[in-house]
Amino acid sequence: MILDPGRIPNREKLILTGIYLSKFGSLGLKKLGFRTFAEAYNVVGYALGSRPSSIKNYRDEFDPFFPNSRKGWHKREMRAYCRKVLDDYTNLDFEPFTGLIKSFVGYDENTWSSVQAKDEKEERASGFARRLITGLAAERYFESVHSSLLEFQGCTIENTTQLGCGYDFKLSREKSEDFLAVEVKGIRERVGSVSLTPREYEVASELRDRFYLFVVKDFQKVPYHEIFLNPTAGNLQFTRTERVLIQVSWITRV
């Protein structure tokens, strides 16, 4: 059994997610902050750079093995490589298994919860799902579809999410000095709110027709996207909001 996510192959992560959802069912969904299995498939599937149906198929694979109301693939023998993963992790209990699933996408609950506002801490159980929907799952969705979109055809793509430049992706075309900036957001349902940081709003206002807001919607059912060019000067109406966070630290003289 390997508990270091960096050493677990991606296919095995998908299999383990299927085992987790089959074994713990609605309890596991609630612990991860998902409302439905479909939402879990979509969010974790895209976050791991795979098709959502992959996780569903693996859950179906293990359903006959665990006591639940689903039949799964009960008419065929479990595939050997799936059986091996099941055997390797069969003794992993609920809490450490949950932590393992969260670790696949770099989620550190202790770090995130330390900077949450009070009202957000009350919804701590849904933090994992919300962070994935608004971040990694939406970004991976964009990476999977951008080459098929007319706006970005012929572009090379650079992931800039960790560079703090005010957008998530930089897209460039050959023989052109100008680039396109894409900021990706995700929402759970078909309608919802997205927010831009001061830096994102500033860059969007500066780049204007070279800045795209790419919103992935309805992770709860079937994800799709809407694209907004020059969002700060278009049909979207942004409202400035301010929030004060109180951070507590303990200091001593040594």
Each of the 254 residues of the chain gets a pLDDT tens digit; together they read 777 888 999 999 999 999 999 999 999 999 999 999 999 999 999 999 999 999 999 999 999 999 888 887 777 889 999 999 999 999 999 999 999 999 998 765 554 444 444 445 445 556 889 999 999 999 999 999 999 999 999 999 999 999 999 999 999 998 888 999 999 999 999 999 999 999 999 999 999 999 999 999 999 999 999 999 999 998 899 999 888 878 787 776 76
Specify the pLDDT at position 126: 67
pTM of the model: 0.87
Question: What angle separates helix 37-47 from helix 136-145, to the nearest 10 degrees?
Answer: 70
Judge whether 159 and 144 are in contact, CB under 8 Å. no
Task: Tell me the CB-side half-sphere exposure of residue 66, using CA atoms within 13 A.
Answer: 19
Place of tokens 């298994």: 97
Cβ neighbours of residue 139 closer than 8 Å, sequence gap 6 or more: 159, 161, 168, 169, 184
| Cα distance between residue 82 and residue 31, in whole Å | 24
Q: For the beta carbon of residue 125, count every other beta carbon within 10 angstroms.
A: 11
State how far the Cα of 138 lies from the Cα of 121, in Å rounded to an integer.
Answer: 23
pLDDT at residue number 107 = 65
CA angle (8, 99, 108) in 5-degree steps: 95
Task: Report the pLDDT value the prediction gives residue 117, as an integer from 0 to 100.
Answer: 46
- Residue 114: what pLDDT? 41
Query: pLDDT value at position 254?
Result: 65
Among 23, 39, 17, CA closest to 218: 39
**How do strand 179-186 and strand 169-173 relate by DSSP bridges?**
antiparallel
The CATH architecture annotation of domain 142-233 reads: 3-Layer(aba) Sandwich (3.40)
CATH 3.40.1350.10 residue window(s) in the chain:
142-233
Q: What is the 3-state secondary structure (H, E, C) of the chain?
A: CCCCHHHCCHHHHHHHHHHHHHHHHHHHHHHHCCCCHHHHHHHHHHHCCCCHHHHHHHHHHHHHHCCCCCCCCCCCCCCHHHHHHHHHCCCCCHHHHHHHHHHCCCCCHHHHHCCCCHHHHCCHHHHHHHHHHHCHHHHHHHHHHHHHCHHHCCEEEEECCCCCCCCCEEEEECCCCCEEEEEEEECCCCCCCCCCCHHHHHHHHHHHHHEEEEEEECCCCCCEEEEEECHHHCCCCCCCCCCCCCCCCCCCCC
The phi and psi torsions of 180 (rounded to 5 degrees) equal -105, 140
Phi, psi of 147 (to 5 degrees): -70, -20
Instruction: Name residue 179's beta-bridge partners.
Output: 172
